Structure 1
Amino acid sequence: MATVPPYPTHSGVPAHSRLRHAHWWHRRWVRYGALITLLTLSGLVILALVRRQTGTEGFLVGLGLAVLPVPLLVTAFRWLDRVEPGPWRNLLFAFAWGACAAALIAIVANSFATKWIATATADPSSADTLGATVIAPVVEESAKAAAVLLVFLFRRRDFTGIVDGVVIAGVTATGFAFTENILYLGTAFGTDQLSGGRGIASVTAATFFVRVIMSPFAHPLFTVLTGIGFGVAALSGERQRVRRVLLPLSGLLLAMGMHAFWNGSSTFGEFGFFAVYGVFMVPAFGLLTWLVIWTRQRELRTVREELPAYAVTGWLTPAEPFALGSMRARRLAREYAGHHFGRPAGRAVAEYEAYATSLAFLRHRGRRGRAGADFLVRERELLHELWRRREVARPALDYAARATAPPVPVMMPVPPPAAWPVYGYPAAPYPAYNPYRS
């Protein structure tokens, strides 16, 4: 049996962890039970409200159409999270919160506010406009941001940076848009039925085109701004309390502003919606997509830079930091393990990659003085998880490193000095390939 390598030493990192009193609310089953009960009740209420407004047939049509963009959006956010994939339970919670709790809050609050404005101003048309451009953005973005806040507070180990904030916020907004699309599409179908149309007629088709084809990313785009604020706050030190509060609030305000601008585009004239869509929404979506992909590449560079310290002490093989810092090498390692040792081995390699990435991010925060008091405890937990899976993961990662390493250039024979006037002077030899060089 292999000997466990010594633990690396770190200067400036506290060796103790905070002691917390065992309060009843800190018990996991109490929190999970309360959360599941809340989401279940919210789902039942929102189901009854939407079905009452759309009718059974309209609800089924809306459900069938609204579900179409969901797999694509969830897959896209899961792809962004491939460097350090978070647990599925966080994504399930985020989607359920958006589809049930946030949607219920939005429907109740928006309806109440619009009726109050109509009563106070005696102008239903202005009440609808104010409700859509002022009330709805504030209520909806706040309700969706609550899911990001809960993950940030209670699943802190899974929330380590910008990508995590983007993924949780995006999946929450995807769930919210799913429920909202059922309502809009079901109502549109009911309108077509009342007008004498059969099946999916013009209003339903137009609603489907605008909400599902043209702008399925609208709600995720707004809420991602909130997620970025929380993600930057997660990168801040524990003592930077003002920054950790102001950054999420700034992201939330930006999300509300973008949402209000989008909802108000219908008041900008006949082509206002298309102008805002082409000039504002599409470029903003492209910019945020570039930012998230750039952040993901930066995370891979962090893995390549931080893990060699553990290779030196024997926790990792010399080739592993390079393989773990390449998405292609990671995929090859999983495929190699699954092909030669079966699916459980492939899952073990995927877990190994996730733990190693978490270890790299933890060390990165520790070197910058941003690690928590439980730094050493967490580091030992991650190292032990890697050690448990090393027998399967190491051969797979070594294979992937060899398969993806750039070839070492072959030097041409140096011509004799008599031929230099013809061939030119010999070039300096290429430097040796260093897999740890960024």
Structure 2
Amino acid sequence: MLALSGLVILALVRRQTGTEGLLVGFGLAVLPVPWLMAAFRWLDRVEPGPWRNLVFAFAWGACAAALIAIVANSFATKWIATATADPAGADTLGATVIAPIVEESAKAAAVLLVFLFRRRDFTGIVDGVVIAGITATGFAFTENILYLGTAFGADQVTGGRGIASVTAATFFVRVVMSPFAHPLFTVLTGIGFGIAALSAQRQHARRVLLPLCGLLLAMGMHAFWNGSSTFGPYGFFAVYGGFMVPAFALVTWLAIWTRQRELRTVRAELPAYVLAGWLGPGEPFALGSMRARRMAREYARHHFGGRPAAQTVARYEACATSLAFLRHRGRRGRAGADFVVRERELLTELWAHRAMARPALEYAARASAQMPLHWAAAPPAYGYPAAPFPAYNPYRT
């Protein structure tokens, strides 16, 4: 269905911009995409989400959400123009009211689907921010193709060239100045879903109202941004400098603070598994530091067999992080009914990869924090047993 939506979008954009406009718009619109994707992937490095979720989110934004927005916005604007006999007023109303409601709802649908059907991968605010941001990046990519291709077609008619062209002006405003606009709007929806994911299952009202509040905030910010051109000749720049940039800085700070909080959670929750013998004594420290994680992967790549070894360590790191978050939710009464089953799955996978990952992480812990070398030997003071199953093992039968 997403592929079909993509084909329909391609045909609609080509009909409006022409083949040359489509190619030019595509070439210019793709420029900010790698940077935005890299930023969201960096944010997601503590507990990386599956690639299938990210691909789905981008495809939904670029294809399904864009198609819904084009069809719904055009229909609503034409209906308002016919009903009021005021085309100019209909365009303004469509941009400031209809478009924010339609577009943010269409993008929020991707976050809702991942929240409902990939619930195991959606555990907090960072997951909501990443899924929402990547969905909005895909949507902005398709929208930029349309705007830039249309601008190029106008320049072909009027003979506009260089910096004075409509294409250059559109590129500067949409790609240089505000590539973060759509991701910023939709991230508010993602934050609402992320807080809902942290809520206990019995808190039904909170789990419903928080995403709706995030969606309403996204619509409001989107409407304020679209309406900035009606605030006078300098309205756009006033809204951009006085509202959009501070809001972007605030959301960025919140996302980075949440990421650091996740690392603190890893360092706080995993020592329990050290005492139980599932992890080495230096691993909680290493797994709670992105620098140490990177060092462990590098160590594995150089000493244990190249890239496959590094991928094994990365998988071990992701499982350990998921285990820490699962335990954190369990202690707060927010884990699901499958807590024990999920914990067992993660511990089993950790144990399967321990031979390669444990030496790499112990090395990274010592190298990054100048820990005593005897930590790698797991001294008796930590109660780390040599047997495959420790003395304290709730799963032993």
TM-score range, shorter chain: over 0.9
SS at match of 1:335: helix
The answer (yes or no) to whether the contact 1:69–1:216 under 8 Å persists in 2 is: yes
Query: Could you say which residue in structure 2 is the equivalent of 1:226?
Result: 189
The answer (yes or no) to whether the contact 1:189–1:201 under 8 Å persists in 2 is: no
Q: CA RMSD in A?
A: 1.2
- Once the two structures are superposed, the pairs formed by residues 46-85 of structure 1 within 5 Å of their partners are 46-85=9-48
Shift of 1:196: 2.3
Query: Could you say which residue in structure 1 is the equivalent of 2:283?
Result: 320
Aligned AA (1:384) = T
Shift of 1:199: 7.5
Aligned AA (1:45) = V
| Cα distance between partner residues in 2 of 1:163 and 1:406 | 30
Shift of 1:340: 1.0
2:365 to 401, 404, 409: 401
Q: Which has the higher helix share?
A: 2
The answer (yes or no) to whether the contact 2:271–2:284 under 8 Å persists in 1 is: yes
- Once the two structures are superposed, the pairs formed by residues 233-252 of structure 1 within 5 Å of their partners are 233-252=196-215
2:356 paired with 1:356: no
Query: Could you say which residue in structure 1 is the equivalent of 2:311?
Result: 347
2:331 paired with 1:371: no
| Cα distance between partner residues in 2 of 1:46 and 1:232 | 33
2:93 paired with 1:127: no
2:220 paired with 1:257: yes
1:187 to 140, 144, 150: 150
Shift of 1:219: 0.1
Deviations 1:355-391 (A, max 9, x none): 0000000000000011100000000000011011100
SS at match of 2:334: coil
SS at match of 2:347: helix
Query: Could you say which residue in structure 2 is the equivalent of 1:382?
Result: 346
The answer (yes or no) to whether the contact 2:73–2:99 under 8 Å persists in 1 is: yes
Aligned length: 372
Aligned AA (1:142) = S
Q: Tell me, which stretches of 5 or more residues in structure 2 are unaligned? A: 373-381, 383-397
| Cα distance between partner residues in 1 of 2:69 and 2:313 | 42
Query: Could you say which residue in structure 1 is the equivalent of 2:391?
Result: none
- Identity among equivalent pairs (%): 86
Q: TM-score, normalised by structure 2?
A: 0.92
Shift of 1:60: 0.2
The answer (yes or no) to whether the contact 1:189–1:200 under 8 Å persists in 2 is: no
Deviations 1:380-422 (A, max 9, x none): 00001101110000000000000111579xxxxxxxxxxxxxx
SS at match of 2:47: coil
| Cα distance between partner residues in 2 of 1:339 and 1:39 | 41
2:320 paired with 1:332: no
Q: TM-score, normalised by structure 1?
A: 0.84
Deviations 1:162-197 (A, max 9, x none): 000000000000000000000000000000000123
The answer (yes or no) to whether the contact 2:313–2:357 under 8 Å persists in 1 is: yes
Shift of 1:339: 1.1
Deviations 1:89-138 (A, max 9, x none): 11100000000000000000000000000001100000000000000000
The answer (yes or no) to whether the contact 1:192–1:201 under 8 Å persists in 2 is: no
The answer (yes or no) to whether the contact 1:330–1:400 under 8 Å persists in 2 is: yes
The answer (yes or no) to whether the contact 2:162–2:168 under 8 Å persists in 1 is: no
| Cα distance between partner residues in 2 of 1:197 and 1:246 | 49
Q: Tell me, which stretches of 5 or more residues in structure 1 are unaligned? A: 1-37, 409-433
2:113 paired with 1:150: yes
| Cα distance between partner residues in 1 of 2:321 and 2:223 | 38
The answer to which structure, 1 or 2, has the higher relative contact order (CA under 8 A, 6+ apart) is 1
Shift of 1:221: 0.1
Aligned AA (2:227) = G
